[in-house]
Amino acid sequence: MALFLCLASGITQISAQAADSPKTASQSLVVPVAPAETLRWFSQQWDDTTWTAARNSMRPADDRGWQVRMLALQSLVKSDAAAVPVLLKALKGEDVAQRILAAQALSFLSPQVPHQAIADAAKNDSNATVRLYAADTLGMQGNIDSSQLLKQLHENETNRDVRWHLRYALERGSHAVSQAMVEKLRAWDPARLASATIGKPAPNFKLQSLTGQQISLNSFRGKQAVVLVFIYGDT
């Protein structure tokens, strides 16, 4: 018998890091602290050709794009209010990868983001992924006054994935991004990046279910098969 665990990929679902796996993150990925420098570092490290080639297929096992993105995202969110003007400027720039990262980072800083700036991105940006994360930011602001805008955007949006995220944003209503979730992202240990590798046993982890139950991988290890299914989630 296999145990299926459906896990939301949002940060708040993770209640503890893997406690008994080695810390083997790539030492070459050292992200700058200053927000503007973080964005420059991200652009230098990000290989957009690899990303484009991997669409609709598995990315190479040695690809570090997801690590670069995660480190940059955490650094920007750690910078808090100081990152907001830098991210808003990047959101209007020509670098698509930077615009996507900026829109994603702003979602975690959403209470500090000017409403009109992110609304413009959700409505007018030519890139669907930017619009998707901008929709998340609108929802994570928890501003009930955004409901009419979100409905209009949903009616006019042609991309299926963006439409789904606009629906998520509407369903949030007045529930703003949880500060606990933001703090978990800031406190996340980058040394965990390479703790799970293909072909080796998964490191232990603990998760909190939607009903508040603590689930540990070790409690099932050696007893039954476990299938982890990650789904989108921000809370």
Identify whether residues 75 and 175 lie together within a single domain: yes
Q: How far apart are the first and last CA of the chain?
A: 30
Residues 138 and 225 in one domain: no
Using only C-alpha atoms, the chain has a radius of gyration, in whole angstroms, of 18
Q: Give residue 166's domain range.
A: 25-54+61-194
Residue 105 to residue 222: CA distance in whole angstroms: 39
E strands of the chain, at which residues?
A: 2-8, 14-16, 206-208, 214-216, 225-231
Over residues 144-157, the mean pLDDT reads: 91
Q: What are 77-96's pLDDT values in tens digits?
A: 999 999 999 999 999 999 99
Q: What is the pLDDT of residue 40?
A: 95
- Helix, coil or strand: residue 73: helix
**pTM, two decimal places:** 0.78
My answer on whether 66 and 110 are in the same domain is yes
